[in-house]
Amino acid sequence: MAEEESSSSGFKVVDRRPFAADGSRKEDIPAEEKNVEVAPARDRSTLGEPQSEPRDQYGDDSPGFETLVSYLSTTAMFQLGLIPGPAGEHIPADMPNAQRTVDLLEVLQEKTKGNLTASESRLLEDVLYELRMTFVEIQKRQARKSK
């Protein structure tokens, strides 16, 4: 197999994607035409067209940031005893695990600071506020019961 060298990067990429940039299906293209030289990486903000997210097996309902926050907040509510079990039975609060889940949401907030949209940031702030207040209220109730 003969190797061709590029003067700019020293490697080449073979484009085997079945779709063109506009989303239309490519016709059978000879292998020589599929080879594409890779330009040096540029900041996405300097490109002319906005980058679209690739579609995956989820279609339009792909899991995103909101889904992750929803999943973790629901888990915390279940651990706090706010959501009934599968048969409708009351589940007692599991405060240590609820605290861990809230802590995970706080880590997520810290690590994504500056990288979220305004609505994503607000969602995370609101969820954390509600979970913290609920956590404190449940702790107070448990303290009153134990006296």
Q: Is residue 26 part of a domain?
A: no
Q: Is residue 13 part of a domain?
A: no
Q: Is residue 24 part of a domain?
A: no
pLDDT at residue number 51: 52
Residue range(s) defining the domain that contains residue 113: 63-146
pTM here is 0.57
pLDDT at residue number 45: 47
Tally of domains within the chain? 1
Low-confidence residues of the chain: pLDDT under 70: 1-11, 13-17, 19-21, 23, 28-62
Q: Is residue 142 part of a domain?
A: yes
pLDDT at residue number 85: 87
Q: Is residue 52 part of a domain?
A: no
Q: Is residue 101 part of a domain?
A: yes
Q: Is residue 116 part of a domain?
A: yes
Q: Is residue 99 part of a domain?
A: yes
Tens digit of each residue's pLDDT (9 = 90 or more) over 24-41: 777 765 555 444 444 455
Q: Which of 89-122 are b and which e, b meaning 16 or more Cβ less than 10 Å from the residue's Cβ?
A: eeeebeeeebbebbeebeebbeeeeeebeeeebe
Beta partners for residue 36, in sequence order: 13
